[in-house]
Structure 1
Amino acid sequence: MNFSSLGDSVRQFQLNRQNVALKTTLNTLVTELSSGEKTDKVKATGGDTARFSFIDNRLKILESLSFVAKETQLTLSTMQTALTNFDAQRGALAEQLIPINAESPDFQVQQAGDDARARLDGLISTLNTRLGDESLFSGTAVDQTPVISADAMLADIAAQIGGATDKATIIATVETWFEDPAGGYAMLGYTGDTGDHAERRLDAGIKISLDARADDPGIRAVLKGAVVAALSQNLTGLDKGTQTDLLFEGGIMLQAAATDVTQIQARVGTAESETERFAVSQSAEASALSMARNLIIQADPFETASELQAVQLQLETHYTLTARLSQLSLVGYLR
């Protein structure tokens, strides 16, 4: 009768290989149970990895675009809040200035001029609002503060006015300073970018324009009215009649600028709405793709747990057999 048996070295090698195989399977199942995903993507997709790769890549792109959309929403929301504050200051100052006339008490005229000067500071401060390290109303030049200080603005305009003390010259000079494309506000007052409006790319072929800048005609109209009113107390040699005329004219300018500011707010609101719509659409797409991805590679927790228990039992049995075999001796064998 023929008899064959394995040598000790061969048997030890087989035991080690089985041990490694069982441990590898055990680690794989533990990973799948904790992550909820199958580790063998090729097997999970039936060899069709192209569809899975597309879904995975698109999900990564959507994650990045989601960050851009949220950042854009925050920027637009902060811009809208600033514009609301800007318009509120415009309206309050207009209401205060329009009732001023030649019959108004001196203290009221003085107070109105002082308030106009203070409001000018507030208006400029609002336009210089920053979100983090970026200016909101300076276009693409986000590192630049868009509007110079009220002191610098009034000083330059006063220098242009010279010694004139009549209402017509003062208002004409202010108009020119704010409207001249080659000087005044365009060259000195506004320090942001004047090129194409800033844009945010929300997806392929989809961009949102951030076109609210401090050089907008509506913004200039508000500042112009506040400056005219502030000059009533900033210029020397003006009689009360000229002062009250400047205060009244400034109020009328501020009131007339209401529609322009509303149009800027409407544009920002439209951009907000578009950004929200794309954000919702992208979120829905990400949810659908995540579901499709899970259907492909999601590991069944109950099946994985059962397989894990079976492998653990195999590994325990393997260790038991290995321990017993290691205790064999020639004497024991001959018995």
Structure 2
Amino acid sequence: MALQSIGDLAQGFVLRQQGAHLARETARLTREVSTGRTTDTARHLSGNLVPLADVERALTLADAHRDVARIASVDAEIMQTALGRVAESGEALAQAALTADSVGGAIQSTVLAQGARAALSTMIGALNTTSAGRALFGGDLADRSPLADTDTLLQELHTVLTAAPDATTLRSELDAFFDAPGGGFSTAVYRGGQAPAAAFALGAGETVALRIHADDAALRGQIKQAAMLSLLDDPALALGHEDRAALVRDMGTGLLSGQDGVTRLRAQLGFAEERIAQARSRIDAEITSLGIARNDLVSVDIFESATALEQVQSQLEILYTITARTARLNLASFLS
């Protein structure tokens, strides 16, 4: 039988090539044993990557919905806090107005007006609140504060009311400023959008909208009463002692009765918060399920990988032994 042999240089090359291959296999199997996941997805799935791509795409979409739901949850919480501040300020001011002993006295009028200005500033500040640079009560114009500042509002209102010759006209002008279409509030104070803000997409065809504007009738009513009380000590207003007393009582009563409207808005927002919380739970469950499906596709049998690793390591040890023995061969040893 004819024997074939290879030269020393070729033999060394073959041994190095086999050693490199076994080293790569050792590294691959070691990673698979430690992670439980394949290092060669295409080979593991026999080239059919469609199921894995579908799962990965669904996971990416679910992650995006989770981010949207988180933002919606934060926005709703901030808005709920803001509405709470409006309600608390209005209620406290109402109590102060209704318990005033002598609203006709200069000192009492000044104190009540100062408290009203503080409450008004709190209300406006709450409704101008932002989240990540977005105004939450401005509708589709989220890049600006929906309400002008307190000084601007009072200046605009002062200009209108000081022109009223009597208390009856003053009340009519007050109502027109805040409630009439094209009135001072809608043209000079409210700067937000008329269209609602975009709804949040939460996946599975579900959306939730946080569509409460700073010019909502309930919020506008609280601002209206507080603004009027803020000008209570203005001597330029055509108000006698009894007129001021009646105005304070009516504004205080209006603040209290208007609490129902603010409560309605808070309940509406609370319902949206509940839906967001349910959506977040659904999305988290979906992500968990998809994660399990992905792991099932790319996972390996750790026992089989460990067995294969032992075999490769044994082959590598044998190769090292052969290489070492080959390296010790020399002419003297060959001739002896």
Partner of 1:280: 281
Structure 1 residues 193-232: aligned runs within 5 Å? 193-203=193-203, 205-232=205-232
Alignment check: 8 A CA contact 2:103 2:244 kept: no
In structure 2, what is the equivalent of residue 142 of structure 1? 142
Indicate how the Cα distance of structure 1 residues 34 and 186 shifts in structure 2: closer, same or farther if over 3 A, else same.
farther
Encode CA deviations 1:141-170: one digit per residue, 9 max, x unaligned: 222011111111111111122332532222
Q: Distance in 1 between matches of 2:151 and 2:77?
A: 30
Q: Is the 8 A contact 1:109 1:244 kept in 2?
A: no
Measured against aligned partners, the alpha-carbon deviations of 1:205-259 in whole angstroms (never above 9, x if no partner) come to 3221120120111111111111122221235253322222221121122112112
2:147 touches 2:214 (CA, 8 Å); kept in 1?
yes
| Correspondence for 1:323 | 324
Aligned to 1:10: 10
After the TM superposition, which residues 124-273 of structure 1 pair with which residues of structure 2 at under 5 Å, given as runs? 124-164=124-164, 166-203=166-203, 205-237=205-237, 238-273=239-274
Larger CA deviation: 244-253 vs 313-322:
313-322
Q: Is the 2:104–2:244 Cα contact (8 Å) retained in structure 1?
A: no
Amino acid paired to 1:123? M
Aligned partners of 1:240, 1:306: CA distance in 2, in Å?
Answer: 98
> Residues 243 and 323 (structure 1 numbering): CA distance in 2 closer, same or farther, change over 3 Å?
same
Query: For 1:271-310, what aligned pairs fall within 5 Å after superposition?
Result: 271-310=272-311
Contact 2:44 2:298 (8 Å CA) reproduced? yes
- Structure 1 SS opposite 2:67: helix
How big is the shift at 1:65? 1.5
Farther off after superposition, 198-207 or 245-254:
198-207
Letter in 2 for 1:177: F
RMSD: 2.2
Give the direction of change, closer, same or farther, for the CA distance of 1:235–1:329 in structure 2 (3 Å limit). Answer: farther
Residue 199 of structure 1 deviates from its aligned partner by 1.8
Distance 1:231 1:38 in 2: 75
Change (3 A) 1:206 1:252: same
Following TM superposition, by how much is the alpha carbon of 1:182 offset from its aligned partner in structure 2, in angstroms?
2.1
Q: Provide the rounded CA distance (Å) in 2 between the counterparts of 1:87 and 1:210.
A: 18
Tell me the amino acid that sits aligned with residue 239 of structure 1: G
SS in 2 for 1:203: coil
Q: TM-score, normalised by structure 2?
A: 0.91
Does the C-alpha gap of structure 1 residues 226 and 258 become closer, same or farther in structure 2, counting only changes over 3 Å? same
Q: Sequence identity of aligned pairs in percent?
A: 29
Partners of 1:177 and 1:115 lie apart in 2 by: 22
- TM-superposed CA distance for 1:57, in Å, is 1.4
Whether the aligned pair in 2 keeps the contact of 1:91 and 1:255 (CA below 8 Å) is yes
Worse-superposed segment, 91-100 or 41-50: 41-50
- How far residue 309 of structure 1 moved from its aligned partner, in angstroms, is 3.7
1:134 CA drift (Å): 2.2
Unaligned runs of 5+ in 2: none
Offset at 1:4? 2.5
1:68-79 equivalence runs, <5 A: 68-79=68-79
Q: Could you tell me how far 1:54 is from its partner in structure 2?
A: 0.8
| 1:122 to 2:131 alignment | no
Residues of 2 paired with 1:140 and 1:173: CA distance? 30
Q: Which runs of 5+ in 1 are unaligned?
A: none
Q: Residue type matched to 1:30 in 2?
A: T
Q: Is the 8 A contact 2:221 2:255 kept in 1?
A: yes
- For 2:28 and 2:181, how far apart are their aligned partners in 1? 70
C-alpha contact 2:146 2:190 (8 A) present in aligned 1? yes
Q: Which one-letter code corresponds to 1:76 in the other structure?
A: A
Report how many residues are paired: 335
Query: Bigger CA drift: 75-84 or 240-249?
Result: 240-249
Report if the CA contact (8 A) 2:162-2:236 is conserved: no
Q: What SS does the corresponding residue of 2:195 show, helix, strand or coil? A: coil
SS at match of 2:199: strand
Query: How has the CA–CA distance of structure 1 residues 137 and 185 changed in structure 2, closer, same or farther, with 3 Å as cutoff?
Result: same
